[in-house]
Amino acid sequence: MTGSNKPQPTLLLVDDEPFNLEILAEHLTEAGYAVELASDGEEAWNWLTRAGDSFDAVLLDRMMPGLNGMEVLKRMQAHPQLSGLPVVMQTAVGSPEAVREGMEAGAYYYLTKPFERDMLLAIVAAAVAQHRARRSVKQAAAQPLDGLAMLCEARFQLGTLDEAQRVAALLGKLTPAPERTVLGLTELIVNAIEHGNLGVGYAEKKAMMQSGRWREEIEALQQQPEHVNKRVKIVARRQDGRLLVEIEDEGDGFDWNRFLDFDPARAFDPNGRGISMARAMSFESLAYQGAGNVVIATILLAPPEQVAGGL
pLDDT digits (tens, 9 = 90+) for 50-88: 998 899 999 999 989 999 999 999 999 999 889 889 999
**249 within 8 A of 196, measured Cβ to Cβ:** yes
Q: Give the CA count within 13 Å in the CB-facing half-sphere of 309.
A: 6
What distance in Å separates the CA atoms of residue 131 and residue 310, rounded to the nearest whole number?
37
**116 within 8 A of 94, measured Cβ to Cβ:** no
> With pLDDT > 90 as the criterion, what percentage of the chain qualifies?
54
- Is 80 exceeded by the pLDDT of residue 94? no
**210 within 8 A of 190, measured Cβ to Cβ:** no
CA 295 from centre of chain = 18
What distance in Å separates the CA atoms of residue 303 and residue 229, rounded to the nearest whole number?
41
pLDDT for residue 193:
97
Is the preceding omega at residue 96 within 30 degrees of 0, hence cis? Answer: no
- Is 60 exceeded by the pLDDT of residue 305? no
Distance separating the N- and C-terminal Cα atoms of the chain: 49
4's CB contacts (< 8 A; 6+ apart) are: none
> With pLDDT > 70 as the criterion, what percentage of the chain qualifies?
90
The DSSP bridge partners found for residue 295 are: 247, 288
